[in-house]
Structure 1
């Protein structure tokens, strides 16, 4: 997570006077080379759409030609599929790939593994092995490095068997295979990654409602037939993260609003007990914590340290700045030994009452005896 520069913040002098000292925290930075990625794609993916020399309709013909060529030597009723180039260039589809790549790189940072391209970097099973081992805590008995196609497929087979054994009992539909992954089918690779993100409840936010068009070529009675199929890769965030499951706060909101008010008053009393030390006071939980400022300050008070102003936006004005503040507060919670909040930073910023209550109740449970 990037750290805002102090020059980008508007300083509130009267507010600054209420804060006394600083605590140095480590800054995190991340560098991505777009030039390297473009160069690699240009060399390794000559059949991918080119914004300079090919129009979308031309690229579709190239893709269909490749798909048909693959099918000419196949048996009767054999089927091949390929991502429609228009879908490949979709901004939402590209955003989904970016989020997944960032997630993998974050998970495998300690292994010094850097993924640039999902098709080129995941097809041989090496990255998938490391990712699954990290997520599941299991160690797979497979060869570390395999160069031959046979060796790669054998390794990929064992990795996918382990993944499927993990996912199938929980109702997941297995939409991937050794052949589809090894032939760099981007749709099936992403389907597998999305399933892993959802099953292991990864702390990321996937773009919602991402669908793509897949060109399907089937050989029937010696004739090649083509069709387009819509493939849904992501649904709503609520469904993907499993936050549709009801809990005590859902019950309070739906059936016991009087008790909900009691809970809110208790939480307000708790947070004000500490924020009053800075001459601050909360009256509305969902709105006053939405920009993350009070959450950050509250964590500093509960853990008895002051937080440098350059670590967060004191007067956030845009959505991204508020997200940064809430995410930073979540990091402070984890540094204090608390589990990562189930709520997403976006939920708190978007004034989701249940998410804010869950975060604050977690603080209350852990710090209710702190003076």
Structure 2
């Protein structure tokens, strides 16, 4: 009897618990459904805004001044396979360059914005040391460091700060992790330093631009070209295939003959100042021998005060090569088809092209200092 009484007392509680459990389960399912619907609604709203047909956002929400613009990357561009390929190639290049410093970059935006890794990369590529006072890791301190680093980059790349159109990045754009600016910067560095990578051709990013006009937001799309055609780092812009391409590609056995001819010509003149070349691949990469050669051929002494006799950094070597190119053009030679950066990077074809132009111009002329 007692047992029966106990069962009759507990049974209604179990039913009540079961009922509450069901109510709770239904509530959770309803809540999850509402969350999913809300997420989908948000996604649809975003995609709708990005269609650019209209952008009904309160102008005050952007805090834009009249005619001021702000831009963002179209999400479809972030998913573009060429953009992803470019970022992966650049990441691999940076990590290879900084491997000896045990630095690993995982995201070009998140890891480069404060200037620290950019500083290490530039120092490694250019063989320099960027000096500046120790700064804090506050936003102001980060921007101070970033400004010093970017000023050095612009100097190395020979960009004119007074011509903003030449420079596709700024302290603010890099610090705010603007992907377009960061990619422009990294591609410029890869090209300049002849990175051993192949950049994908025709990488274009779609930009969504919002401008405040008459207290209304006007939107438009713009296309930003990051790379063009023939971005293979071995195929130089403005340098069509010539006899040297054919020689190296199809008749490498004749290469030594060509090098021997050029070495004989060069030493005929450099021995007058007790210098001798034995390795075309490396002995011209700092520009010093090329400068002396032009002085000997043209019959003048080059002031050593305007060149680097013992160039050690990339920038010093580049200065010398550019100076040599100027001497060549002053002497009436055609504008060198090779890039100065390629000479510094010991690009054999570039060095051969420059020396061959000198050789064909002066091969029959006696040394002016004989």
TM-score, normalization by structure 2: 0.51
- The change in CA–CA distance for 1:226 and 1:139 in structure 2 (over 3 A counts) is same
Alignment coverage as a number of residue pairs: 222
Give the aligned partner of residue 276 of structure 1. none
SS of residue in 1 equivalent to 2:157: helix
Report the structure number with the largest CA radius of gyration.
Answer: 2
Question: Cα deviation per residue 1:102-154 (whole Å; 9 max; x = unaligned)?
Answer: 11111111111111111111111111111111111111113567410000011
* Partner deviation per Cα, 1:188-229 (whole Å, 9 max, x = no partner): 100000000001111111111111100111112211111110
* Structure 2 counterparts to residues 1-371 of structure 1, below 5 A: 58=46, 61=49, 72-142=62-132, 146-169=136-159, 173-237=166-230, 241=234, 243-246=236-239, 250-251=242-243, 264=251, 266-267=253-254, 342=347
RMSD of equivalent CA atoms = 4.2
Check conservation: 1:71, 1:219, Cα contact below 8 A: no
Aligned residue for 1:332?
Answer: none
Secondary structure, aligned partner of 2:140: helix
CA distance in 2, matches of 1:106, 1:86: 29
Distance 2:191 2:252 in 1: 34
- Report the Cα offset of residue 59 of structure 1: 5.0
Q: Which runs of 5+ in 1 are unaligned?
A: 1-50, 255-259, 271-338, 344-353, 359-371
Distance 2:70 2:235 in 1: 33
CA contact (8 A) 1:87 1:212 kept: yes
CA distance in 2, matches of 1:88, 1:265: 43
User: Which position in structure 2 is the counterpart of 1:40?
Assistant: none
**Relative contact order (alpha carbons < 8 A, sep ≥ 6): 1 or 2 greater?**
1
Q: Is the 8 Å Cα contact of residues 101 and 116 (structure 1) preserved in structure 2? A: yes
Distance in 1, Cα, partners of 2:119 & 2:157 = 15
Shift in Å, 1:241: 4.9
CA contact (8 A) 2:50 2:74 kept: no
With 61-70 and 136-145 compared, the bigger mean Cα shift is at 61-70
CA gap 1:137/1:266 in 2 versus in 1, 3 angstroms: closer
In structure 2, the CA distance between the partners of 1:66 and 1:161, relative to structure 1 (3 Å rule), is farther
SS of the residue corresponding to residue 80 of structure 1 reads: strand
For residues 161-212 of structure 1, the C-alpha deviation after alignment (integer angstroms, 9 at most, x for no partner) is 1111111359992110011111110011000000000011111111111111
Deviations 1:205-263 (A, max 9, x none): 1111111100111112211111110011111235765524548x714789xxxxx79x8
Unaligned runs of 5+ in 2: 1-38, 258-343, 354-370
